[in-house]
Structure 1
Amino acid sequence: MLALVLLAVALLLGLMLVPLGLPGLWIMLGATFAYWVAVPAGGIGAITVVIVAAMVIAAEVVEFAVAGRYARQYGGSRRASWGAILGGMVGAVVGVPLPVVGSVVGAFAGAFAGALVAEYTVPRARRGEPLVVAKGALIGRAVAAALKVGFGVAIAVWVAAAVALP
């Protein structure tokens, strides 16, 4: 019973951390794995752990790819797309020291700045409007954050169903 309560708390905590740009999905995966090891007959099997791990990895890939895709949709070059991806990663890391929202603000600002700087390095004849491209990267980062929360909800539901339906 205690293990089940700890699993539920870890899943909810992880889900609350996702919108803050913190590693909530990884906490959810760790809690799922720990419950599987601690309670072998608890309903969570190796297949559930593998599926949750695949969902976490997919969410991480989607998170960074979407910002770049939006930069391209707003007229940006490939360079702007990569600038948005790399800028978002760097911004998330740089923002960590600012409590609670630092990594979120950093990721958004990094995606914007990365796309903007990268688009300015493209020869004028082949580049889009840098501010529009950067705005697209920022919108993409917001969409990516929402998608990652959706992955978190799906993971929580999957694990809860695995425990409830042994």
Structure 2
Amino acid sequence: MRSGCSRDLHSHGVSLLAGDLGASERAHEAMTLLAIVLLIVLGIAGLAMIPLGLPGLWVMVGGILAFGWLTGFRTVGVATIAIVLGLAFLGEIIENWIGFRYAKRYGGSTRSGWGALIGGLVGAVIGVPVAVIGSVIGAFIGSFLGAALFEYTYSRHTGVATRAGWGAVVGRAAGAAIKIALGLIIAVVGLFAALS
């Protein structure tokens, strides 16, 4: 009788252990599914934010970090994190630098380049209260006005100042296009890490 009872307890214990293992596997699968959904949603949202002048690259980086955290960093390692952080920083630097360079390319002085940079940042901040596109419009207008004003104080020619302002606007648009390209690269890196 005793050995039968022991055998029953042992088999019951094994079935409980197997039930716990199944629940653990289901929880793991649910967490992985959540991580994938979060990665996709933040990736798409980040790409959509870039043309609006919002920090889309950083949202995408956050999505990759969240995916890594939710999956125990099994497929997102230091190299992946370093690559996406580097690309996001590069995007920010290029966006600001290219506006500076285009203002100069369109006939402006170094002063107009600084005006484009400062005006774009101020315009983006001022435009924030207007939902969604306010910061974009503000950044473009600010770049134009900053470059034109700074150039006018230097050259005293409205034609030169206007060309420098237009160059700043073209530069800001080119910077946004480059950031979208970098965003696509970040998305590919994130998907590659997720599928590894």
The TM-score, its normalising length taken from structure 1, stands at 0.93
Residue 40 (structure 1) shift: 2.3
Give the alignment of 1:58-73 within 5 angstroms.
Answer: 58-73=90-105
Give the alignment of 1:81-120 within 5 angstroms.
Answer: 81-120=113-152
Give 1:74's aligned amino acid: Y
Residue 41 and residue 90 in structure 1: after superposition, are their counterparts in 2 closer, same or farther (change >3 A)?
A: closer
Residue 35 (structure 1) shift: 1.4
d(CA) in 1 for partners of 2:49, 2:92: 14
Asked if residue 159 in structure 1 is aligned to residue 159 in structure 2, the reply is no
d(CA) in 2 for partners of 1:25, 1:152: 6
Q: Tell me which of the two structures has the higher relative contact order, counting C-alpha pairs closer than 8 angstroms and 6 or more residues apart.
A: 1
Deviations 1:75-129 (A, max 9, x none): 111000000011111111111111111011001001000000100111449x971
What percentage of residue pairs aligned between the two structures are identical? 45
Q: Indicate the residue corresponding to 2:52 in structure 1.
A: 20
Which stretches of structure 1, 4 residues or more, deviate above 2 A after TM superposition?
A: none
Moved more, 41-50 or 19-28: 41-50
d(CA) in 1 for partners of 2:65, 2:105: 38
d(CA) in 2 for partners of 1:73, 1:123: 15
Residue 42 (structure 1) shift: 4.3
> For 2:180, which of 146, 149, 152 is the aligned residue?
149
Query: SS of the residue aligned with 2:154?
Result: coil
Query: SS of the residue aligned with 1:98?
Result: coil
Contact 1:42 1:163 in 2 (8 A): no
Q: Indicate the residue corresponding to 2:28 in structure 1.
A: none
Point out the structure with the larger helix share.
Answer: 2
Which consecutive unaligned segments of at least 5 residues does structure 2 have?
A: 1-32
Contact 1:77 1:128 in 2 (8 A): no
Contact 1:14 1:25 in 2 (8 A): yes
Which consecutive unaligned segments of at least 5 residues does structure 1 have?
A: none
Give 1:147's aligned amino acid: I
Residue 14 (structure 1) shift: 1.1
CA-atom RMSD, angstroms?
Answer: 1.6
Contact 2:155 2:161 in 1 (8 A): no
Q: Indicate the residue corresponding to 1:138 in structure 2.
A: 169
